[in-house]
Amino acid sequence: MSGTQPYVPRTGRKVETQERFRQSHKAQLRVWWREIDLVLLALIGGLIAIGIAAVAAASPATADRLSTSDVTLSPLYFYWAHLRWLFLGIPVMIGASFLSRDNARRLAIILATVMIAALVLVPLIGVEVNGARRWLKLGIQFQPSEFLKPAFAIGLAWILSWRVRDPNLPVLGIVTGIMALVAVLLMMQPNFGAAILFTGVWFVLILLSGIPVQRIGGLAAAGIALLTATYIFYDNARHRIDSFFAGGTAYDQVDLAEKTLLSGGWFGTGFWLGLKKMKLPEAHTDYIFSVIGEEFGLIVCALVVVLYLAIVARVLVRLVNEDDLFATLAAAGLVTQITGQAFINILVNLQLFPSKGMTLPLVSYGGSSTIAVCLAAGLLLAITRRNPFLTRESDGLGAFIAKRPAITKRKVRA
């Protein structure tokens, strides 16, 4: 009989490894909770909560409008669909907020490259909806420009931050070239509203990056000339601008949206009691702010505006003492993209801006664009994360703003 002992599996190491894995994840969660801006997270959550109620209010109008003699949509069809998209979008937001700044930058660069390539494909194989070819159908139907928005802001911030290492790098020419490429691809769809939003993000980042005032003035003059040329030669922009000033029949929904918004008074007609919303096209997306006004009142509309302004203010507060130029520019670009789109949507509903076909971020039903805006919010949370025990080497954005005139003056003398 052999003296060897029977083999007994050693499970101790496996249990120990699993325990270390759990402890590591708990430690990561504690670090995340300590570094994340809980106020900013709460503001974003507040807008998502309002959006859930607003889509529930707007869903019957769109469901009734899209129902046919063969297919009748449930009044809450878009509400349940919105919850399903949020079920995917919120984990994306939380997951993105766990990223380090370096990983957020890497993700943005990859995403920007893929989405610009997708924009090139849109005119060739894109899906046409309501006269515009803006979507790709690759398993699921999505709009590449929506996913490009957060990647564009972070990517441009990264390029502009190269000036810290070498002020002579032609970063202005690089980011302007990227902006021009994206604008041309968007206007081919046509998507003039998105081109305006991307241009706005680009301009804000240029202003904050320390580019000399004289060059910014030249860019502004070139922008005005380009806008004039766009009005003359680009039919989509000209028709929208003309209809805004003259009230063309093709865009009378803007008048209806304003009347719907104001019909509820200060406190609204009550949930599901609005009648004017039933005539609104895209009540659950482009004109959801009007539905909020009719059913929940101007008080809630004002609350939505305050929440967006609070997000801007909160991000600025976080950036005042930030000494990383990339983080400053990336956060500023992301908040400009999110709130800029929001205020364009609100102004369209108030008939103060030409119709653009933009959703209200974090509030409107958006399908796959809900995931895109949740990704943008998650990246903003990741970029604004801060170790509360880490001291800063400089006064960050506050010092930059205070010293900028002197810097500009020295450059002019040189």
- pLDDT tens digit sequence for 353-401: 777 778 999 999 988 889 999 999 999 999 998 877 665 555 555 555 4
SS3 state at 188: coil
Decide if pLDDT at 413 tops 60.
no
User: Do residues 32 and 98 lie in contact, with contact meaning Cβ atoms separated by under 8 Å?
Assistant: yes
What's the pLDDT tens digit per position in 280-294?
A: 888 888 899 999 999
Q: Looking at residue 410, what is its pLDDT?
A: 35
The structure's pTM equals 0.84
**Domain segments of the chain: what residues?**
47-386+393-405
Task: Categorize the per-residue pLDDT at 174 as very low, low, confident or very high, splitting at 50, 70 and 90.
Answer: very high
* pLDDT (mean) for 120-125: 87
pLDDT at 248: 47
